[in-house]
Amino acid sequence: MRAVVLDYGAGNLHSLSRALAVVGLDVDIETEPARAVRDSDILILPGVAAFGQAVGRIGGARAILRDALRSGHPCLGICLGMQLLFSSSDEGHGDGIGLLDGRVTRLAGRRLPHMGWSSVGDLGEMYFAHSYACRPDDPAVIADRAYHDGEEFTAVVRTARTVGVQFHPEKSSRPGLKLLARLCREVTT
């Protein structure tokens, strides 16, 4: 299975690519969104950057990505990649891909960014590094939640053949790698 990681200036391209290879995927990194969709069995939207910067790099290709995901192209969004699936964000200017209606807002916790391990429902402990969280308009897309400083936030979203995770499975040790492999299989079958 071929995974293409879309390069829009996010900082975890190489660690994520290595993790995808470890779980058995052929991995490429691509800067052109249309080519990333065309050449992939699964599109990967990585994290570790700012929303405004990322949408600035994606530019007018938001519609290409949204249309591909709406038509069923498999996708996994990680951290910022999950946030980009939404309509808008309080972090930076510009619209997201808009696959999911909702807004990305700043966490209310005293200690930001939220960096470290937190429990995610039945998934166990996963590694987070974020200051913003997704607030879907439709609660039916929320697959799991987590907490930071007593605030509940969306940790996993799922719609059709797209899954977004707020945490970093590639940095979440063996359980994260197992989850990464499972999610890639689930959205492509």
**Reported confidence tier of residue 49, pLDDT bands at 50, 70, 90:** confident
Q: What percent of the chain has pLDDT over 90?
A: 92
In the sheet that holds 86-89, the strands lie side by side as 86-89, 100-106, 132-136
**Reported confidence tier of residue 182, pLDDT bands at 50, 70, 90:** very high
- Point out the catalytic residue in the list 73, 114, 130, 168: 168
Determine the pLDDT at residue 48. Answer: 84
Residues 6+ apart with CB under 8 A from 176: 19, 126, 127, 167, 168, 169, 170
> How far, in Å, CA of 82 to CA of 152, rounded?
17
> How far, in Å, CA of 157 to CA of 163, rounded?
6
- 134 is an active site residue: no
Q: What is the CATH number of the domain that holds 117?
A: 3.40.50.880
- Point out the catalytic residue in the list 79, 91, 134, 184: 79
Domain count of the fold of the chain: 1
**Reported confidence tier of residue 54, pLDDT bands at 50, 70, 90:** very high
Domain assignment of residue 80, given as a range: 2-188
109, 149 contact by CB (below 8 A): yes
- Point out the catalytic residue in the list 30, 148, 170, 184: 170
Give this prediction's pTM. 0.96
Q: How far is CA 154 from CA 16, 26, 43, 81, 105, in A?
A: 21, 30, 21, 14, 11
**Reported confidence tier of residue 12, pLDDT bands at 50, 70, 90:** confident
